[in-house]
Structure 1
Amino acid sequence: MSGEWTQTEDQPDVVISVHPELASKRVGEYAWKARSEEFDRLVESSGCNLVRSERFTVRRANSGTLLGEGQVDEVAQFVEVEEAVVVFVDHPLSPVQQRNLEKAWNAKVVDRTGLILEIFASRARTREGVLQVELASLNYQLGRLVRSWTHLERQRGGFGFMGGPGERQIELDRRMIRVKIKSLEKDLEKVRQMRATQRMGRKRKDIPTVALVGYTNAGKSTLFNRLTESGVYAADQLFATLDPTLRLLELPGGLRLMFSDTVGFVQELPHELVDAFRATLEEVVEADLVLHVRDAADPMLAEQGKVVEETLEQLGLVGDLSPPVVEVMNKKDLVPGIESWRAETVPGSRIALSAITGDGVDELIALLTDWLQQDMHEMHLKLDLSDGRTMAFCHQHGSVLSKTVHESVVDMVVRMNPAEAGRLILEEGVHRLR
């Protein structure tokens, strides 16, 4: 490609999207259309001006271009007519295929993995998020011909998959990339150790963690904000949330939960991202309860649910060691008649709600409260009437079921978790706080 792609806010780049469907992987017209529309939304969320979207059936994948010769020529005509500078291909491309298509179309070519990585790169805000995206980008670029090291210079807020100032057509020094990858892996290992230490601290304080997972744009961050009254960025776009967020939720009766908001999943999430974001996604692996947030109004609800389940399996969330999962059907306001149900145990329950209107959120809180109280102890306590410290502790960290005053002694029935209950000792006939 002779020109450069220097994306600006004033003049978004004119781009085309191409959606190949291999005959060997045919999914049906409706599913193909839905996937194509999702990919186009990804393209638009990268800040480009998408002027044309074309779908092609590929009977046999061409090792050099993926598409057939006639299809390559057809796209070349589209590029010329639309004056497009980038063509997004909704399929993984080998380095050879990407290079050949760029020459044939005289435009930058970005495949599905490259697009997702670019979006992640532009939206990561925390140091951890930047490290994870950078590691994913390097693993992706290893073995590819790309343009110098602009992906490490933070130009355009991304990593240079789609172009950047001062690019040159040279092969990346693989040794330098591998050295950088090792350095990033060491940094992320420190992040992993720090998170493990934080989780141990929460467990010592007996604060259970609830992780929100789901398909991208299902409404996880909106629900997170509704529950925790925080200001996490939430928007009607794919991958609005990238950086992990933890917030404490106080429930009635002294109950406390730590909520974790996570990155949304998507079809064929690149394995480079799953591997790189493992440190963040360990919050899901180590969670005590998982809320699978689903967009009840999406026609592809079943397919999206399968994608989330498969991604959780990639993380090792299978079998008896995995945390219990509760299904949260979001956007109840758009699906009249959808109902909740409660299983005998919390796993298997389903809560229908609207994170936007708040309808049904009380049901979710009630479910979480019941879940927390499953392992709580009901204690009969005798407190000195003058011992305000212990009395305040019982109200703050437990649920006081009854209280009777007898002269200088207070009889209380309190429901409390084992860790907090262990802080109360019996001395001279009355309970005191250690």
Structure 2
Amino acid sequence: MEVIGIALNQPTLSKAPRKERAVLVGVAFNGADDLRESLSELAALADTAELEVVGMVTQVRREADPAYFVGRGKAEEVARLCGELNADIVIVDHELTPAQARNLENLVGVRVVDRTELILDIFARRARTKQAMLQVELAQLQYQLPRLRRMWQHLSRLGGGIGTRGPGETQLEIDQRRAKKRIADLQRQLREIQRQTSARVQSRKERQLFTVALVGYTNVGKSTLMNALTKAQVFVEDRLFATLDATTRVLVLPDGHRALLTDTIGFIRKLPPHLIASFHATLEEVRTADLLLHVADVTHPALDDHIAVVERTLQEIGAGGKPTILVLNKADRLPPDWDRERLSQRYPNALLVSALTGNGLDELRRRIQREYAKQRLVRVRGQLALWAQDLVAFAYRNGVVYSVAYTDDAIVLDAEMERHFAEHLQKQVTLLNAGSVSVTPVVAESNAHQPFHFAHLLVSLRDQR
């Protein structure tokens, strides 16, 4: 007898010479779900998994059927459609219980996967680094563990009855034990990665580095924006979940100050909770960032929903309430007759940019710099002893010196620097009895209550056309 076992950290959908043909199934409960948008996104996920969508079946229900998720009649309709279209696989736009998946698969006669399994398959295909592979494998195993019995259902008739144990059940128990052992091992390895990540983050904090994280829905152009702002060479593809690993590069601000910009994994609706938990180490970069750039696709019909999904996910991972700039990307794709006033009213504090053409990026850099100044910079004014040239040199090395004037008995210094440098300067002046220094917050220009006007960008976009 052939033993099946579990394939670890591998795509769960086969890579056939031809694309597998998929039928999508979506359910709107109480008519509240935006079924069309959700199925459109599911089709994009299927395309990313190299599947060909050949049909869709929808249903409106008050609640899920405990046996088939959809009703029995609708399940039979799916079975007929699969036969007519020669489908290889059915993808359900919700997470199924093991019993629902088993019953539906038995009825339709082809493989059935749910949205979670499809996302996990895409992650397995996309994982490149050791950390990403470990995180994906952990999420896969946590998903598969309660579903192992379904893998062994074809052996259930070999042993039977109360008090008897067939070989299928024995192998099932072996697989469950191996899976639990592997999960524990993966969690241990990821805890070590988390420890290293936390140490790296703490090192940045100790060095007072200003950190900015790109967050947003999947496939909104975060990596393209990362490349445009930092001249990085981050992998870019117009597909969902092109980025799984956090990538950090230096971002030079207009005044010469430097920040660290991190590109992170994109979010999506109905993202499995255990998948979020598995990517805890990667998302640490988001939780500890000083500033978030929430990137959204301004041309997407579900823009409001995408923004809401990202905000909910940020709350779930402990990054809610952080200073955030909403960046509406892909402005180059807006139609000529787009409603500028309506957009500015809906998102009065947002920045409209095109990461592809560079439009709006200078203003984005200025906004980042203002936030950096608000959080970190102070104005330093001092009356220093004439012999305290080393302290003036310190100000030049670690800040922006606006003026140095010499009087008969003092050096008059006016500079701007990060607070920790200013505090160090103050201590040295006091210790050396080298004069006096006052430190005050930098009054940064604020856009908190000023609507952003899109007129200048509209002119630029028209010029390009």
Shorter chain as normaliser: what TM range? Answer: 0.7 to 0.9
1:214 maps to amino acid? G
Whether contact under 8 Å (2:254, 2:365) holds in the other structure is: no
Whether contact under 8 Å (2:13, 2:121) holds in the other structure is: no
- Tell me the TM-score normalised to structure 1 length: 0.82
Describe the SS at the equivalent of 1:216: coil
Aligned equivalent of 1:160: none
Question: Which stretch shows the higher mean deviation, 51-60 or 283-292?
Answer: 51-60
1:124 matches 2:123: no
CA deviation vs aligned residue, 1:309-358 (integer Å, no higher than 9, x gap): 1111111234xxx42122111122334564898xxxxxx94222111111
- Tell me the TM-score normalised to structure 2 length: 0.76
**1:229 equivalent among 228, 231, 234:** 231
Aligned equivalent of 2:215: 213
| Structure possessing the higher radius of gyration over alpha carbons | 2
Aligned equivalent of 2:301: 299
* Distance across 1 between alignment mates of 2:275 and 2:29: 24
Describe the SS at the equivalent of 1:102: helix
**1:20 equivalent among 6, 18, 27:** 27
Aligned equivalent of 1:360: 360
Deviation, 1:8, is: 3.2
Aligned equivalent of 1:333: 332
Deviation, 1:112, is: 0.6
Q: 1:338 to 1:405 in 2, by over 3 A?
A: farther
For these two proteins, the number of residue pairs brought into alignment is: 394
Q: 1:102 to 1:383 in 2, by over 3 A?
A: farther
Describe the SS at the equivalent of 1:306: helix
Whether contact under 8 Å (1:147, 1:170) holds in the other structure is: no
2:325 maps to amino acid? V
CA deviation vs aligned residue, 1:387-429 (integer Å, no higher than 9, x gap): 79974x655542232355899x986532110223455544585
Deviation, 1:269, is: 0.6
Q: 1:364 to 1:111 in 2, by over 3 A?
A: same
CA deviation vs aligned residue, 1:56-101 (integer Å, no higher than 9, x gap): 2345532221122222222112222222221111111111111122
* Distance across 1 between alignment mates of 2:70 and 2:385: 79
1:71 matches 2:74: yes
* Distance across 1 between alignment mates of 2:145 and 2:386: 69
Describe the SS at the equivalent of 2:146: coil
Describe the SS at the equivalent of 2:325: strand
Describe the SS at the equivalent of 1:303: helix
1:112 matches 2:119: no
Whether contact under 8 Å (1:254, 1:397) holds in the other structure is: no
Describe the SS at the equivalent of 1:93: coil
Q: What RMSD in Å do the two structures reach over aligned CA positions?
A: 3.1
1:333 maps to amino acid? D
Q: 1:413 to 1:64 in 2, by over 3 A?
A: same
1:14 maps to amino acid? R
Unaligned stretches of 5+ residues in structure 2:
5-11, 153-169, 437-465
* Distance across 1 between alignment mates of 2:24 and 2:86: 13
* Distance across 2 between alignment mates of 1:359 and 1:383: 48
1:33 matches 2:3: no
Q: Kindly, what percent of the aligned residue pairs are identical?
A: 35
Describe the SS at the equivalent of 1:362: helix
* Distance across 2 between alignment mates of 1:259 and 1:202: 12
Whether contact under 8 Å (1:244, 1:280) holds in the other structure is: yes
* Distance across 2 between alignment mates of 1:268 and 1:170: 33
Aligned equivalent of 2:380: 379
